[in-house]
């Protein structure tokens, strides 16, 4: 593997596949798709999953991150799907954010158009999230939901949630010290 200078920024994924998320059985949890895998977010009321992520030692601290949802339509019906991400940042040794920060999306990224094809893999991005003063090993508490009733959610069938993940920039193969990026 080639060595990279700390000024070079590469990309990687911080992943939470649907198969690794265990809905807790509350009324707002999506159904598990026992045929194709994934979670089925219905078109009736908002359904929610929770994800916790720790920022890896390879992350270029303070660079923006790009959270997004990988999903599929379960039918070829027309209409859009509105996704919501809410998060709280939890730095090591500090108190987490008091309130949830909310991000919404009802459009797919270029290269993955929603052309009303059943089982087609599409991605909806929540855009760039700035992370000044954030560090490796910080935790992110995340709620992901589908928002039926929002103006952009006009698809009247289940949306199959495959994965939530965050693109992040990498500038090293790890950290020099166990809990901080700088030298040990």
pTM over the 0.75 mark: yes
The 10s digit of each residue's pLDDT in 66-80 is: 999 999 999 999 999
The 10s digit of each residue's pLDDT in 71-119 is: 999 999 999 999 999 999 999 999 998 999 999 999 999 999 999 999 9
DSSP per-residue letters across 21-78? ----S-TTPPEE-TTT-SEEE-SSS-EEEEEEEE--TTB-TT--BEEEEEEEESSS--
Both structure tokens of 63: 């660079």
Q: Give 18's DSSP letter.
A: G
d(CA 100, CA 180): 26
Q: Topology of domain 10-157, per CATH?
A: Jelly Rolls (2.60.120)
- Pair 113, 121: CB distance under 8 Å: no
């Amino acid at each position: 593997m080639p060595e990279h200078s700390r000024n070079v920024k590469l990309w990687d994924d911080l992943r939470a596949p649907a198969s690794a998320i265990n809905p807790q059985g509350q009324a707002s949890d999506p159904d598990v798709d026992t045929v194709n895998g994934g979670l089925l977010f219905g078109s009736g009321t908002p359904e929610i999953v929770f994800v916790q992520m720790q920022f890896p030692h390879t992350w270029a601290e303070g660079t923006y991150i790009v959270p997004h949802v990988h999903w599929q339509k379960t039918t070829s019906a027309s209409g859009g799907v509105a996704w919501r991400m809410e998060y709280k940042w939890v730095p090591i040794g500090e108190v987490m954010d008091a309130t949830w920060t909310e991000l919404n999306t009802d459009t797919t990224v270029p290269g993955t158009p929603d052309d009303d094809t059943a089982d087609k893999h599409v991605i909806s991005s929540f855009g760039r999230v700035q992370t000044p003063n954030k560090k490796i090993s910080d935790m992110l508490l995340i709620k992901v939901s589908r928002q039926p009733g929002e103006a952009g959610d006009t698809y009247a069938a289940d949306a199959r949630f495959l994965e939530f993940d965050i693109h992040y920039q990498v500038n090293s193969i790890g950290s020099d010290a166990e809990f901080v990026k700088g030298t040990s």
